[in-house]
């Protein structure tokens, strides 16, 4: 059906929708799902929206059509059909009619009975979590779980290196859940605590209480679950707890420093349970995200950071956000106590970070790829389309794009004169592949480490 254009521009209508929705939805919900969505077209009967990715597109469709639809009725006086697509052009094949009969939205909970204190750390909330390419999926999944536990992603398994925000996200789920629904039983424990509780229960002959306690959870979150390795009895007990909760639609969230299939001495049946929901990884933040984190934390402390200081911190603390944060806190403390201006020349000797990573060279990248994939550099530069060779070549182009400042045509030259469109295609392909393929992702992390050479930084005193 062809529809005539209506007088309002799509962006104008959407802007109005956003303004009103901002008051109806909680902040994380608004910021994560609704705000990044753009209006693409508007006819008399339909508004076409574009979500940043398929995940957000699905989530919007499932949970936020109603509030969006209601606000549209408020503005226009009549409903519109909504169609949500993604920036990549993936479109869902259905469209929905909004007549107020869809899933309930997440209105703000203004319950005066809400307890003011929760067992969770108030520092770790969604709005204090900086989202970047490194953690977008994990953040979205955690928020999804916080909004509707026990549905889509059960269990949610968060994995990734130390200091990259796993505990922050779990705590944020807890804080959010209790804010929305103060009566929910949300448990967060370390694997160590779970194990100790179990040992105590066995010793005191109170297994019944132990089981009752853990199985009463609406949301059970266990942190650093990799420590369960080799603990046969804890694994056994946890298996039953897990099943009981899962079968009754209760949410389980786990975090570990690696994916389930890489935890040694983990019972096969637990490994498969852990993998049946969603495994979302957090990676080291890129430069922009590190800068954004510093900005946010400095803002929280009411401190203005000169750009050079921010850059200094962001280039020297790259792989662990806790360390980045620690360095910032020491910087703030040092300058306020010493009275020195906040400048790199003063803080660098005080911080004395051990090493600095320098940009990789094309030669180092070609060499590392050739070794790892066991193909010669000549073949990488050749036109061979053998699968293993073209994969190695694509990974190489991707790494060169990430770790050098060479232009696309220059990268093409490094690979024997390939076209810049080929380079671009390869980079996109590997970027997408690493999202799904944990093994490839690990390989890329290792390679990145190997090709960025370390050297002592210029202010180092030693």
Minimum CB separation from ligand ADP for residue 160, in Å?
A: 6
CB of 296 to ligand ADP, least distance (A): 6
Yes or no: say if 164 and 133 are a contact pair by the CB < 8 Å rule. no
CA distances 174 to 72, 143, 168, 189, 248, Å, are 32, 10, 10, 11, 19
Q: Tell which one of 62, 211, 231, 322 touches ligand ADP (CB under 6 A).
A: 322
When asked if residue 351 is in the footprint of ligand ADP (CB under 6 A), the reply is: no
Residue 208 CB contacts under 8 Å (≥ 6 apart), including other chains:
none
Closest-CB residue for ligand ADP?
A: 165
> Which is closer to ligand ADP, CB of 286 or CB of 325?
325
Part in contact with ligand ADP (CB under 6 A); list of ranges 3-11, 73-81, 319-327, 438-446: 319-327
Using alpha carbons only, give the angle 440, 443, 449 rounded to the nearest 5 degrees: 145
Could you please report the per-residue DSSP string of 16-80? HHHHHHHHHB-HHHIIIIITT-EEEEEBSSEEEEEESSHHHHHHHHHHTHHHHHHHHHHHHSS--
410 binds, among ligand ADP, Mg ion, none (CB under 5 to 8 A by kind): none
Helix or strand run (H / E) with residue 347: helix 344-351
Place of tokens 């550099």: 377
163 binds ligand ADP (CB under 6 A): yes
Query: Do residues 164 and 283 lie in contact, with contact meaning Cβ atoms separated by under 8 Å?
Result: yes
Told to check if 172 binds ligand ADP by CB under 6 A, we report: no
Q: Is 339 helix (H, G, I), strand (E, B) or coil?
A: coil
Nearer to Mg ion by Cβ, of 221 and 245: the residue is: 221
The yes or no reply on residue 166 touching ligand ADP (CB under 6 A) is yes
Task: State which residue, 159 or 447, has the beta carbon closest to Mg ion.
Answer: 159
The span from the CA of 462 to the CA of 453, in Å, is: 19
Compute the distance between CA of residue 202 and CA of residue 205 in angstroms, rounded to an integer.
5
- Residue 135 is a binding residue for ligand ADP (CB under 6 A): yes
Q: Which is nearer to ligand ADP, 120 or 129 (CB)?
A: 129
What is d(CA 321, CA 364) in angstroms, rounded to the nearest whole number? Answer: 27
- Out of 59, 129, 227, 415, the only residue in the binding site for ligand ADP (CB under 6 A) is 129
Binding mask 321-340 for Mg ion (x = CB under 5 A): --------------------
Residue 164 interacting entry, from ligand ADP, Mg ion, none, C-beta within 5 to 8 Å by type: ligand ADP
Least separation, in Å, of the C-beta of 231 and ligand ADP?
A: 20
> Residues touching ligand ADP: how many (CB under 6 A)?
15
> Please, what is the minimum distance in Å from the beta carbon of residue 285 to ligand ADP?
7
Strand extents, DSSP E, 205-315 = 219-223, 251-256, 278-281
- Taking the CA of residue 186 as centre, how many other CA atoms within 13 Å lie in the half-sphere pointing to its CB? 23
Considering only 110-118, 166-174, 332-340, 434-442, which stretch makes contact with ligand ADP by CB under 6 A?
Answer: 166-174
Stretch that binds ligand ADP, among 75-83, 194-202, 259-267, 317-325 (CB under 6 A): 317-325
Of the residues 63, 168, 250, 434, which one makes contact with ligand ADP according to CB under 6 A: 168
End-to-end CA separation in angstroms for the chain: 74
Which of 26, 32, 106, 167 lies at the binding interface for Mg ion (CB under 5 A)? Answer: 167
Residue with tokens 């009969």: 101
Q: For Mg ion, which stretch binds (CB under 5 A), given 3-11, 161-169, 268-276, 360-368?
A: 161-169
How far, in Å, CA of 372 to CA of 381, rounded?
16
| 413 near ligand ADP, rule: CB under 6 A | no
Contact positions toward ligand ADP, by CB under 6 A?
124, 129-130, 135, 162-168, 293, 321-322, 325
Contact positions toward Mg ion, by CB under 5 A?
166-167
């Amino acid at each position: 059906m062809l529809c005539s254009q209506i007088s309002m521009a799509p962006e104008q209508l959407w802007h109005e929708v956003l303004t009103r929705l901002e008051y109806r939805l909680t902040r994380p919900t608004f910021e994560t799902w609704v705000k990044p969505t753009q209006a693409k077209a508007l006819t008399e009967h339909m508004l076409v929206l574009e979500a940043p990715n398929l995940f957000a597109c699905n989530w919007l469709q499932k949970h936020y059509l109603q509030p969006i639809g209601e606000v549209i009725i408020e503005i226009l006086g009549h409903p519109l059909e909504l169609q949500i697509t993604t920036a990549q052009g993936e479109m869902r094949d259905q469209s929905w009619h909004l007549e107020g009969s869809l899933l309930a939205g997440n209105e703000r909970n203004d319950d005066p009975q809400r307890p003011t204190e929760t067992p969770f750390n108030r520092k770790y909330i969604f709005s204090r979590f900086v989202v970047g390419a490194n953690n977008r999926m994990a953040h979205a999944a955690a928020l999804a779980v916080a909004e509707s536990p026990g549905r889509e992603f059960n269990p949610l398994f968060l994995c990734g290196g130390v200091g990259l925000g796993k505990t922050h996200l779990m705590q944020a789920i807890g804080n959010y859940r209790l804010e929305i629904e103060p009566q929910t039983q949300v448990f967060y424990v370390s694997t160590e605590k779970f194990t100790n509780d179990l040992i105590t229960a066995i010793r005191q002959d109170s297994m019944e209480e132990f089981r009752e306690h853990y199985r009463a959870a609406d949301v059970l979150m266990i942190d650093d679950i990799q420590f369960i390795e080799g603990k046969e009895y804890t694994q056994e007990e946890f298996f039953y707890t897990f099943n009981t909760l899962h079968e009754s639609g209760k949410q389980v969230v786990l975090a570990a420093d690696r994916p389930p299939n890489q935890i040694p001495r983990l019972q096969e049946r637990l490994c498969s349970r852990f993998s049946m929901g969603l495994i979302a990884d957090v990676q080291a933040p890129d430069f922009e995200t590190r800068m954004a984190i510093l900005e946010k934390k400095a803002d929280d402390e009411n401190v203005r950071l000169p750009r050079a200081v921010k850059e200094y911190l962001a280039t020297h603390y790259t792989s662990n956000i806790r360390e980045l944060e620690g360095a910032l806190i020491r910087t703030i403390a040092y300058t306020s106590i010493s009275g020195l201006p906040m400048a790199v020349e003063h803080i660098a000797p005080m911080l004395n970070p051990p090493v600095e990573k320098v940009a990789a060279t094309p030669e180092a990248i070609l060499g590392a790829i050739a070794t790892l994939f066991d193909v010669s550099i000549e073949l990488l530069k050749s036109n061979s389309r053998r699968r293993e060779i073209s994969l190695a070549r694509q990974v190489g182009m991707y790494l060169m794009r990430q770790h050098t400042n060479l232009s696309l045509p220059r990268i093409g030259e490094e690979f024997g004169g390939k076209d810049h469109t080929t380079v671009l295609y390869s980079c996109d392909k590997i970027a997408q592949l690493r999202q799904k393929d944990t093994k490839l992702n690990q390989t890329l992390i290792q390679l990145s480490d190997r090709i960025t050479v370390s050297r002592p930084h210029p202010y180092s005193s030693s």
